């Protein structure tokens, strides 16, 4: 059957890299007769906001609801405050569609050098709890009788929230034959992180064949650099996962090649796939952005739609393109966005 995909290019380099991802999906349709997709593009971005006073129409979420998946570029422009784009666009999508897993592959592609990780063999995934935890709007400011201020920021962790994230991590580990590492800090954060440890441990009981280690997040950050090859699945809370993900991205070559998925594992709502990077206003409009993160995000989407074969084919095409010497500026080369995109499509055709 035909997969329906909502395309949200966004701002800055978003439309530039999205263009290459859309051309790639069209190429795959031509190449593989068993795959077909229908793409609908939505012009919701900062320019739309300036014209209409909102990031998307009132029924925007209802419009997206019916799609099988959402492919997003990046959002952000100096003309609109960043908290508007985040809280009126990205957050409502993640929340409404219960995208409670943030999925980030940390895989060193052949031909990418990283000053942080010398080992060639870096290939793990970070599974970050994406819906609750440290990122809550519970809290506020209090003032004492001398008007000295105090800020309180509450972490909210529910048994259900932790369990479903842990369960996803263990399922993934089981399918791929990997160990699980849980990032914690229960020695110092004694209420929420102790609870996290307990629920993760309890969830692990259903997966006796999967090795589980619990590592304090500060030490884990060091181990990411010292022995990245030892990890399989890293399970982390919202804040810890956010920080570890950017370190992971730096380990394997940077923002230009880092993809992500915001997943609703139940399949009740569409999942959303997006590069880790933002709209990169400093290089927007020059045609030099690296399209790999966006194309790889599209590959994660294909995997989510049940086509792991097509995901693997795209990743192989990216690796072949790098092996041929194609490099955009962020990777130390001079190839344009379009040249990189076209070379990856050529390598899809050759497979
Ligand atoms: P950014 O990721 O846009 O840029 C950081 C640096 O990485 C810049 O030097 C940029 O040129 C470079 N870079 C990023 N993607 C690249 C690519 N594909 N190829 C080559 N170089 C690339 O982060 P920044 O500058 O902090 O934020 C810019 C805007 O993007 C802000 O408005 C921010 O709020 C927004 N943003 C949006 C995100 C989203 O839509 N999910 C995520 C992160 C930031
Ligand atoms: Mg982040």
| HEC string for the chain | CEEEEEEEEECCCHHHHHHHHHHHHHHHHHHCCCCEEEEEECCCCHHHHHHHCCCCCCCHHHHHHCCCEEEEEECCCCCCCHHHHHHHHHHHHHHHCCCCEEEEEEECCCCCCCCCCCCCCCEEEEEEECCCECCCCCEEEEECCCCCEEEEECCECCHHHHHHHHHHHHHHHHHHCCCEEEEECCCCCCCHHHHHHHHHHHHHCCCCCCCEEEEEHHHHHHHHHHCHHHCCEEEECHHHHHHHHHHHHHHCCCHHHCEEEEECCCCCCCEEEEECCCCCCCCCCCCCCCCHHHHHHHHHHHHHCCCHHHHHHHHHHHHHHHHCCCCCHHHCCCCCHHHHHHHHHHHHHCC
Tell me, using a 6 A CB cutoff, whether residue 279 lines ligand 1.
yes
Ligand nearest to the CA of 274: 1
The residue with tokens 């800090």 is: 185
Distance 206 CA to ligand 2 centre (A): 31
> Model's pTM, two decimal places?
0.93
Ligand nearest to the CA of 245: 2
Site to substitute for ligand 1 among 73, 262, 278, 340, most atoms within 8 A of C-beta: 278
- Is beta strand 180-184 parallel, antiparallel or unpaired with respect to 233-236? parallel
The predicted pLDDT at position 284 comes to: 97
Tell me, using a 6 A CB cutoff, whether residue 330 lines ligand 1.
yes
Site to substitute for ligand 1 among 70, 112, 255, most atoms within 8 A of C-beta: 255
Distance 111 CA to ligand 1 centre (A): 23
The predicted pLDDT at position 88 comes to: 87
Q: How confident is the model at residue 117 (pLDDT cuts 50, 70, 90)?
A: low
pLDDT tens sequence across 24-61: 999 999 988 899 999 999 999 999 999 999 999 999 99
Whether the CB-CB separation of 137 and 87 falls below 8 Å is answered with no
> CA triplet 197, 199, 202: central angle to 5 degrees?
105
User: Where do the CATH 3.40.718.10 domains begin and end in the chain?
Assistant: 1-108+253-351, 114-238
The predicted pLDDT at position 110 comes to: 82
CATH number of 1-108+253-351: 3.40.718.10
ipTM: 0.97
Distance 135 CA to ligand 2 centre (A): 12
The tokens for 204 are 């692990």
Whether the CB-CB separation of 117 and 108 falls below 8 Å is answered with yes
For 29, 32, 185, 337, the CA distances from 320, given in Å and listed in that order, are: 20, 19, 40, 16
pLDDT tens sequence across 148-187: 999 999 999 999 999 999 999 999 999 999 999 999 999 9
Crossing angle of the two packed helices 292-304 and 308-323, in degrees rounded to 10? 160
C-alpha to C-alpha distance for 73 and 15, rounded to whole angstroms: 7
The tokens for 17 are 């890299």
The predicted pLDDT at position 136 comes to: 86
- Which phi and psi angles does 66 have, rounded to 5°? -85, -5
Q: Give the closest residue (by CA) to ligand 1 atom 16.
A: 256
CATH number of 114-238: 3.40.718.10
Distance 133 CA to ligand 2 centre (A): 15
Q: Give the closest residue (by CA) to ligand 1 atom 6.
A: 280
The number of the ligand 1 atom at minimal distance from the alpha carbon of 76 is: 32
The pLDDT mean for the chain works out to: 95
Distance 278 CA to ligand 1 centre (A): 3
pLDDT tens sequence across 287-332: 999 999 999 999 999 999 999 999 999 999 999 999 999 999 999 9
Ligand nearest to the CA of 128: 2
pLDDT tens sequence across 53-99: 999 999 999 999 999 999 999 999 999 998 888 888 988 999 899 99
Distance 143 CA to ligand 2 centre (A): 31
């Amino acid at each position: 059957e035909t997969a329906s995909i909502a395309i949200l290019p966004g701002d800055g380099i978003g439309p530039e890299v999205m263009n290459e991802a859309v051309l790639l999906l069209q190429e795959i349709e031509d190449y593989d007769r068993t795959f077909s997709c229908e793409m609908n593009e939505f012009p919701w971005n900062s320019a739309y906001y300036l014209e209409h006073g909102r990031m998307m129409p009132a029924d925007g979420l209802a419009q997206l609801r019916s799609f099988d998946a959402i492919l997003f570029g990046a959002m952000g422009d100096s003309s609109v405050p960043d908290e508007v784009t985040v809280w009126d666009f990205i957050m409502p999508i993640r929340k409404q569609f219960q995208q409670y897993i943030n999925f980030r592959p940390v895989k060193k592609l052949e031909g990418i050098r990283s000053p942080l990780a010398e080992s060639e063999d870096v290939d793990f995934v970070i599974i970050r709890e994406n819906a609750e935890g440290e990122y809550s709007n519970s809290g506020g400011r209090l003032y004492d009788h001398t008007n000295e201020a105090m800020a309180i920021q509450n972490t909210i962790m529910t048994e259900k929230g932790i369990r479903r994230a842990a369960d996803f991590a263990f399922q993934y580990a089981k399918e791929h034959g990997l160990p699980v590492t849980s990032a914690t800090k229960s020695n110092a954060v004694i209420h929420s992180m102790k609870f996290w440890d307990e629920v993760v441990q309890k969830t692990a009981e259903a997966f006796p064949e999967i090795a589980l280690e619990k590592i304090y997040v500060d030490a884990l950050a060091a181990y990411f650099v010292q022995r990245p090859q030892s990890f399989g699945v890293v399970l982390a809370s919202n804040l810890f996962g956010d920080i570890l993900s950017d370190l992971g991205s730096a380990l394997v070559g940077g923002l230009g090649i880092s993809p992500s998925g915001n997943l609703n594992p139940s399949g009740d709502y569409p999942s959303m796939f997006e590069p880790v990077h933002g709209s990169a206003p400093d290089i927007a409009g020059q045609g030099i952005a690296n399209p790999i993160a966006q194309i790889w995000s599209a590959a994660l989407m294909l995997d989510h739609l049940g086509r792991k074969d097509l995901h693997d084919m795209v990743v192989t095409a990216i690796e072949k393109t790098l092996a041929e010497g194609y490099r955009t500026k962020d990777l130390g080369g001079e190839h344009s966005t379009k040249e990189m995109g076209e070379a990856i499509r050529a390598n899809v055709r050759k497979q």
